[in-house]
Structure formats: C-alpha cells, structure tokens
Amino acid sequence: MSFESNVKLTITLSNPSLDADEQERETRNLLREIRDLDVESAELVGVAETPLGSKAFGGFLLGVLQAEVSIANFKKLLGFLGDRLGGKSIELEVEANGKKLKVKASSREELTAAIEQAQKFVAGN
C-alpha cells in the first residue's frame, strides 16, 4: 500500500435529542476541531450528495461531514474521534484503496471496536 494514499471518512452524527439548529452547531464544532488536526480536507456534505433517508439543513446534510486524511495521520484522527465522540451515536464510513467500510457505534465500547475495525481495514488486514 502506498503511504501517499489518503483515507476518506464520512462521519454522521445522530442525536435525536437535538433539534436541527443544535445538531448543526454540534456538527460545525466537530468540523472546526477536525480542521485543527493535520487533515488534507474537512467539510460539510452538500445536499447534492444526499444519501437516501438523510435530512438537509441550509444546503448541507444535517449531522454529516467528510474528512480526507493521509494514512500517516489516519490513526491520530480516529483517536481524536474516539475521545471526542465516545458515547454518542455515529456512523463512520471509511474509504481507502478503492474499498469502503461502514460501521455504526452508539457507545464508547462500540466506537472503540469500530475504530479498531477501521484501522485494520485501512491497513489491509
């Protein structure tokens, strides 16, 4: 595997107790924090890329963001997500080497397992 390859992550936050404005604020805060890490890009997902069953808010999908990171920084980003999102319901889609992995987590333990699965997936194990 080439270390120049980047890993694309789609992170979907799911918190039914938040209204649309609160969900939007939480997503934008997470996006800002991810941009402070060493990532190639991080952005909200535009409505044009709407997955089936998603809700849109202000031209962007509610609670959905994408990040692209180098293989070298992938583990650091996953560690950050584990610390920041432990105990929250999220869906993580990882795309690397032309393959995709989609995992869901709604507890710290599930998120830890999902992160380990994503790391193995990217490593090709």
pTM assigned to the model: 0.83
Statement: 6-123 belongs to CATH 3.30.70.120: yes
Q: Could you list the pLDDT tens digit for every one of the 125 residues in the chain? A: 344 579 999 999 988 888 888 988 999 999 999 999 989 999 998 866 555 556 555 677 888 999 999 988 998 999 898 888 878 889 999 998 888 999 999 888 998 898 899 989 888 86
Diameter over CA atoms, the chain: 42
Dist CA 107 CA 125 (whole Å) = 24
Query: Residue 29 in contact with residue 42, Cβ under 8 Å?
Result: no
Q: What is the DSSP letter of 67?
A: E
Strand-pair partners of 69: 7
Confidence (pLDDT) at 101:
93
**Domain residue spans of the chain:** 6-123
